Amino acid sequence: MSEQKCTDLPSGWGSERWIVAGRVQGVGFRYHALLSAHRLGIFGDVRNHPDGRVEVRAQGPTDRLAGFLASVRSGPPGARVDSVESSELQHGMRFDTFTIRH
C-alpha cells in the first residue's frame, strides 16, 4: 500500500496535488513521472483522468518537489503540457512510495 493516514510530514517537506492538462495521455507521461519521482526521492502517485488530464499527488522535501514539478511541466518527448493546476494535498495523507494509479 502506498497511501497511509498520518498526522505530520517531516520538517521541510511539502505535499501537493497537480492537475496537468495538454497532450499528457498516450505519450508515456505517467511513466515519465514515475521515473522522475524515483530519481528525486518523491513519494505519491500519478493517474489519468477520464477527461484527458493527469493527476499527480506528490510529497517530499520542498526543494525536490520543485525539481519534480519542473520535470512534470516538461513531460516526456511527445507530450505537451498546457497548464498545471496546483493545490495542497489533504492533510493526514502520507505515501511510502511513488506509483502509477489505475
Q: Which residues are catalytic?
A: 30, 48
Contact 71, 84 (CB under 8 A): no
Rounded distance between C-alpha atoms, residue 5 and residue 90, angstroms: 10
Rounded alpha-carbon distances, angstroms, from residue 91 to 10, 56, 66, 70, 98:
13, 16, 20, 24, 18
* Residue 32 Rama label (left phi>0; alpha psi -120 to 50; beta): alpha
